[in-house]
Structures are given as structure tokens and as C-alpha cells.
Amino acid sequence: MGEKNSESSGDCCKRAGEKSSLKQGIIYGLVPHIGCIGFAAAPVLGVTVAAEFFRPLLMNRWFFYFLIGVSLLSATVSTIIYLRQNNALSMKGAVRKKRHISTMYASTIGINLLFFLFIFPMAANFGANVSAGTAGLAALPGSNSIGTIALQVQIPCSGHAPLITGELKKISGVQGVTFNFPDSFDVAFDSGKTTKERILALEIFRTYPAKVTAESNNGFTIG
């Protein structure tokens, strides 16, 4: 009877430990990206000051690699503290507590992947006026001369995509921007108000060079 109670208590402790490590991993993966969420949401909420504050950070090519490093470093420090508190700060101790450690790292990495594969691409396309494909162009009201260009931009990761779409949308005449993972942007614009050359002359493309991979005018592909 006592053995069963002991086993039951041990199972409960393991489950509690796994939940704790999962929660910590999620936090370590999430917290470093809070500022980036703020940058993506700021223009939608009309908070231009916040957007301008985070913009210089996103101009750094290594910014998101730094954030990933912060996530993993936080998980590592937490693991060391956990092992020390449980008198397991050794290779054998780490093997004994591998479930806790693997859960924490897996959740930390998983949250980072969630941001780069889903959240950042969604943020880049949030509020897009049109899909820059032919079908989307036909639906644009009051546009007599609509052109589209597909840009391949040398961004290090999808975390920089909201920055690119935000800069493109500042141009008068740009009707819509769609980000396609991992580094392609479809831009629909009124050719009576702006040009391909003006779009490519954006200052942002000095840091993250862009090249045109396809273009069309009123739905007819050029080249």
C-alpha cells in the first residue's frame, strides 16, 4: 500500500515537473519576441512611436539570431539552476533529469519555430489590402493602371518581413503587399502614382537588397 502511494506521489511529481519545464520553455521562447510583436502591431494600432523605436533593431541583420540565443541561454541557465537545486549538477544528474531538460528545450525551440514559420509571416500580411496576384488585382476599385512586381529580398529570416511590408506600404500608390515565405514579396501598385524604380529605391533595400523576379501590368506578365 505504501509502495503504491509512493509510486503515485512520484508520478505526480514527474507530471508537475514536466508542466513546469514546459511552461518555462514557452516563456523563454516567447519573452524575447515580445518587442517584435509590438513592432508588428504598432502600425495597426496607430502607435507610430513604438514602430519607430523598434525599427533600428530590425535593421540589424543579426537581431533575431540574438533573440534565439537569449531564449536558449535562458533555458540553459534555468536548467543549471534546476539541476543544482536537485543535487544533480553533473552528467549523470542531467541524464537522470533528461525528461525535464528535453521538455524545456523542445518547448523553447518550438515557440521560436512558431514565430518564424507562422506568426511573423502572418504579421507581415496583416492588413494587406489585396493579394498581389492577378485575381486580387482585378478586384481593386478605381485602379486603371495596376502593376505588380515580385521581389526577392535578402532578409535573414521571416522576422524582418513585417519591416519590409511596412516600408513598402509607405509609398503612395502601393495598393497591397503580400509576403510569401521565406523571402518573397508581391507588390501591387498604381503605376500612375509610383513606379518599379521608386519602389526599388527604398532605403530599406540598401540594407536588405531586393531584386525583381517577376512583373506584370494590368494582369499581363512582362518578360
Specify the pLDDT at position 148.
Answer: 93
Report residue 114's pLDDT band, with 50, 70 and 90 as the boundaries: confident
Q: Are residues 11 and 118 in the same domain?
A: yes
% of the chain residues with pLDDT over 90: 24
Is residue 147 classed as helix, strand or coil in its secondary structure?
strand
CB 152 within 8 A of CB 211: yes
Q: Are residues 201 and 107 in the same domain?
A: no
CB 118 within 8 A of CB 40: no
Q: Are residues 99 and 203 in the same domain?
A: no
Q: Are residues 77 and 147 in the same domain?
A: no
Specify the pLDDT at position 153.
Answer: 97
pLDDT digits 0-9 by tens, 34-64: 655 555 555 544 444 455 667 787 788 888 8
Specify the pLDDT at position 149.
Answer: 95
Q: Are residues 59 and 83 in the same domain?
A: yes
- pTM for the whole structure: 0.71
% of the chain residues with pLDDT over 70: 66
Q: Are residues 98 and 158 in the same domain?
A: no
Nearest Cα neighbor of 143 from 168, 167, 173, 185 is 173
pLDDT digits 0-9 by tens, 63-82: 888 888 888 888 888 888 88
Among all chains, which residue has been given the C-alpha cell 523598434? Answer: 54
Give 69's contacts (C-beta < 8 A, 6+ positions apart): none
What pairs with residue 26 in β-bridges? none
Q: Please provide the size of the chain in residues.
A: 223
pLDDT digits 0-9 by tens, 145-154: 888 999 999 9
**Cβ neighbour number for residue 196 with a 10 Å cutoff:** 18
Specify the pLDDT at position 223.
Answer: 46
Detail the DSSP E strand segments found in 154-204. Answer: 174-180, 184-190
Out of 36-40, 93-97, 162-166, 199-203, least confident range = 36-40
CA distance 161 to 199: 16
Specify the pLDDT at position 138.
Answer: 42
- What helix, strand, coil percent values describe the chain, rounded to 5? 60, 15, 25
The residue type of 32 is P
Nearest Cα neighbor of 71 from 12, 30, 128, 114 is 30
Peptide bond into 182 cis (omega under 30): yes
Q: Are residues 25 and 48 in the same domain?
A: yes
Among the candidates 77, 101, 125, a domain finishes at 125
Q: Are residues 118 and 148 in the same domain?
A: no
Among the candidates 101, 125, 149, a domain finishes at 125
Is residue 203 classed as helix, strand or coil in its secondary structure?
coil
Q: How many structural domains are present in the chain?
A: 2
Domain that holds residue 43: 2-125
